[in-house]
Structure 1
Amino acid sequence: MPAFSHGGVRKDVSMFSVAQFCTMELQAKDQFDAWRSLHKDTIELFPTGERSAGFAAAFSSWTLGELVLTRVVYSGAPGRQWRHHPKSYLDHWCVVLARAVAADGSARGELSFRSLALPYEGQAQDSEVITLYLPRDQRPVDEQRLDGAHGVEVSPDFAPLLSDYMDGLVRHLPHVTPEHAANLEMPTRALIAACITPLSTYQEPARSALGAALIDRARAVVRQNMAAPDFGPERLVRLLAMSRSKLYRLFENSGGVAHFINRERLREAHLRLSSQREMLSIHAIGNEVGFVDHSTFSRAFRREFGYSPTEARERGIVRSFADEREGLGQG
């Protein structure tokens, strides 16, 4: 159990006991390290800004028998990167309801399901995160089904029901005794299983088709904007009107979002270099797919295809010449 000292008073806090902790009780320069220490058993945290600027966040947790509900409220805290702790001893599932405030002041929520035993990482600047932690119940069939839903947003058919339930727990658990709260464990488990299991058991084909459709949309947006050297994941998120975490999950098994964008740039360049009708220079083509520096373009091209842009153009010329000779022979 991590402990923090402030004003000579030690405050013990744990992710898995009824507790409260607020970083605003600490000096600004110590706030992020204290917050990271609080979560050290489940996730690794990395700041995206200066630690000296402070990290204002408040944590509360309640137990429901063996289940744990936590709520985190961020007060202007900077963005952060995080990942599941690779050596965590906490082999739990968790349902995560994350809310972020949009530019127009509206709150947008996203509900997802994860296993702490499996790799997962992301970036966030949420204003509120409510999490339900469920220890594994040692039933192989249930474990396989629930692990199959790892990292996936909860189905729209069930997300409102589960979100409202988690919000209700946050409102009412502070006024419920631990003994009475323990009576909620089995109904809560049953509700989560009912909302999560159908997604992993019956909707895999639909999820795969949806993922393919989203990738096609992302590819079209990248191709429309690849001439801009500063086009990257942040702008792709905005143009797709998709949450950052959902976009990153979509490409986490294929090298990431930035790699996808870079690969699309290079594939377009390869297509144009191989075309007999393309009259622009190699340097100009590199510029038109977003590479300002010619040497950077050449190195990236060789890493992707195993040969240089010049060789790609030469191969295209040879192939076009061979096709023309074959056409003449058939005529």
Structure 2
Amino acid sequence: MGMDKMKTWMKKILSVITIRSDLGRCLMAEFYSTFMLSVFLRAAIAQDLTSGTGSVFNIAFTAGMGVAFAIYSSFGVSGGHINLAVSIGVAVLGKLPWKRVPVYYLAQLAGGFVGAVLVYAVYQDAFDDFDGGERQAFGPNGTAAIFATFPQLYLSVTTGFFEQVLSTALFLAIIGAVLDHRNVPPPLNWAPFFFGLIILALVMTFGHNAGAPLNPSIDLSGRLCLGVMGYGAEVWVLADGTHDGVHWWLIPIFGPAIGGAVGSWAYYLAIELHHPPVDEKEDATDYKEKIELEKKDGMPKTHAAEIQYPLLPERDSQTSV
């Protein structure tokens, strides 16, 4: 009897906390998945720094797999953006209402911040051993780079900004290719894995100059964590002897945000726009058939598959050029 009452109460509690609005589910999904990415990424950097490993590949690989795991967590609910630049890149092509972009960003910031605080708590003893209990942003014992990105001393502001636009544009352009079902994309359920590979490649190619931010949601949430943990104003306004007075924190926000829009439009204008026209009736039939096939393979009809990234018919192999 006691067990039955407990089950009844548990059902009532779960019923009360169940989110029933589509926007609410999407925001929870973005919070949760960005939290996961934040933990994986920052824990990898913290381990690398405090252990003296110095492995760029370790960080790049973990960043890539962290992105894949995070997107898998929310791909079927919100589209698994986990990144303001991705939200903007989807919105500029009309696949996400613009009014959702700022609230998605807030959810991502919250998830990234909670993840950063958790990593700080787990690695606090390691930080104490590394810096003697005196937190420093930069220098031999600096730990700020675990939570946010900063430029090398030789890097100019102009080059740093351009790099963020370019690297994020490449990311969104390749996302466009992976999701273009009139090209030769992988199956939709493999897409998050390929997104992770994209991140691994970008960190390995653009990571040295300024840490390859690529993600305003992760970078700003980590910088907020640094502020709370008492790292000082230099995590916002640089005082490194070369970039003194530069509000560098703006570059990892606006650079990727612009790059997201540029990359989405680049793929659309270069490739997607020029696909041969298809009959609307045929298009709708193929679309429904693809959804049904995905359901049989264990993939439900989802917000991501039907709205965020609509499936398009495969190109007829006899007419492709």
TM bracket, shorter-chain basis: under 0.3
Between structures 1 and 2, the one with greater strand share: 1
Report which of the two structures shows the higher radius of gyration computed on alpha carbons.
1
Larger RCO, structures 1/2 (Cα 8 Å, 6+ apart): 2
In the superposition, the TM-score normalised over structure 2's length comes to 0.28
